[in-house]
Amino acid sequence: MKQAILVFLGGGFGSVLRYAISKPLNPLFPNFFFGTFLVNIIGCLLIGLILGLSAKSNLLSQNSTLFLATGFCGGFTTFSAFAFEKHFLLKNSELLHFSIYLISSIVIGIFAVVLGLWLSKFGE
């Protein structure tokens, strides 16, 4: 039960922060959804750092990792908004923006996870 509460609390904090970041930034680039993009990339970097630190040392407990990676990062990032925004761009025949957003989200997201894992090894 304690672990479920940790995920619940982390997810709540992540969701509120995602809203606070994406709400003002998405309208700035209406055909790119920059706020959602930024949140997802930051979330990829964070989960790489968190899981990298958790795997290499005792710096993070299992409960801290659960709160931060599963809860916070799970609530902070959003695949559902990402998918809806892709649908919106396709529906509006924004094929170039669709392609740029899709490819850059995947490529930069994977790079951010790898970067986070790499940065977590710096303390060795």
- Which residues are annotated as part of the binding site for Na(+)? 74, 77
Helix (H, G, I), strand (E, B) or coil at 16: helix
Binding residues: 74, 77
- Cα atoms found within 13 Å of the Cα of residue 70, Cβ hemisphere only: 14
CA distance 83 to 64: 29
CA distance 6 to 63: 7
Q: Which one, of 19, 46, 47, lies nearest residue 35 by Cα? A: 19
